[in-house]
Amino acid sequence: MVKRMIIISMLVVFPILFIHIGKGETMPSFNVSELHNIPLEKNMDTDDFFNNLQIRNKYKEDGWTLLWNEEFDQPQSLKSNWNIENWAAEKNNELQFYTPDNVSVNNGNLHLISKKEEYHGRQYTSGAIHSKDKFYFQYGKVEIRAKLPTGQGMFPAFWMMPNIDNTWLPEIDILEMLGHEPDRIWMVQHYVDKNGKLTSNLDSFVGEDFSLDYHTYAIEWSKSEIIWLIDGIERFRSTVNIPSEEMYLYLNTAIGGNWPGSPDDTTIFPQTFKVDYVRVYQQTGVDS
């Protein structure tokens, strides 16, 4: 299909941008202020332009402004926006070796692939990425749209940690799923209490099989609370020990370990954690 191109013209007197598509066709006008930070490239494809506009306007009515987003449309964005893990996981008695070969971008999705294969002394490989030192933030709305892997021993997660070296607490787990319970999503907050004790504030939501289709998982994080949402509906809320540190994003699929247990004969490999997008919003004109 021949892609139509955008021809952009601006009026000096009125801040209105007219977008003409093809011969004799005119799209509705938009205020230029709506186009803040949208890259306007020469011969820019109309689908890309309007997708960007739609993303940035999605939460505007609730006072949210897009701060950062990863749509996984371009493979090169992995290196520019993320750190790709390459190490043998040493926590929680997990079994996987994270390798860059298990991380890819395909058809507008991030793929974190988990395999049963021997690699550097491990029997399994998997994928993990994080945004430490590349993107981190304090307070806001974080949303992911994803389709989760399944099976005994699989442990997909989307979580946040402070952007500080050698520090993992406090931690916010936006979503965790145990592969043998694909209809249950865990929402967890880890912190050290005033007595120096490691404490977890958590809840789970039981719904449909989350490995069968894409769903959205989000938190709204402010000074006073963290709200977890699944498909836009609140499922858990915490008002205790709310972190104030700037935090970065982490995406991974662990295999085995203390909580999910090891894979067994029922586990089908490979498994893929598919992510359509990750978006971070902040409220403007509001004291978070």
Residues 30 and 89 in one domain: no
Q: How many CB atoms lie within 10 A of CB 279?
A: 23
What pLDDT shows up at residue 30? 37
What pLDDT shows up at residue 155? 99
What pLDDT shows up at residue 83? 98
Residues 258 and 208 in one domain: yes
Number of folded domains in the chain? Answer: 2
The single residue listed with the structure tokens 């104030």 is: 244
pLDDT tens string 165-209: 988 899 999 999 999 999 999 999 999 998 999 999 999 999 999
Residues 234 and 172 in one domain: yes
The catalytic residues are 171, 176
The model's pTM is 0.81
Alpha-carbon distance of 18 to 170, in angstroms, equals 47
220 touches 226 (CB < 8 A): yes
Q: What is the DSSP letter of 116?
A: E
**What residues make up the domain containing 26?**
6-57
Residues 53 and 104 in one domain: no
What pLDDT shows up at residue 217? 99
In a domain, 62, yes or no: no
In a domain, 90, yes or no: yes
Residue 139 has pLDDT above 50, yes or no: yes
Q: Give percent above pLDDT 90 in the chain.
A: 73
Q: Give percent above pLDDT 70 in the chain.
A: 77
Residue 43: band (very low, low, confident or very high) from pLDDT cuts 50, 70, 90: very low
What pLDDT shows up at residue 260? 97
In a domain, 104, yes or no: yes
Residues 90 and 230 in one domain: yes
Residues 52 and 75 in one domain: no
pLDDT tens string 98-133: 999 999 999 999 999 999 999 999 999 999 999 999
Q: What is the CATH number of the domain that holds 156?
A: 2.60.120.200
Residue 46 has pLDDT above 70, yes or no: no
Residues 164 and 277 in one domain: yes
Q: How far apart are the first and last CA of the chain?
A: 46
Mean of pLDDT values over 250-265: 98
Residues 266 and 126 in one domain: yes
- Is 32 or 68 the better-scoring residue by pLDDT? 68
Residues 266 and 148 in one domain: yes
Nearest to 280 by CA among 219, 231, 197, 215: 219
Mean pLDDT rounded to a whole number for the chain: 85
Residues 211 and 244 in one domain: yes
Residues 18 and 150 in one domain: no
Residues 165 and 102 in one domain: yes
In a domain, 64, yes or no: no
Alpha-carbon distance of 26 to 29, in angstroms, equals 9
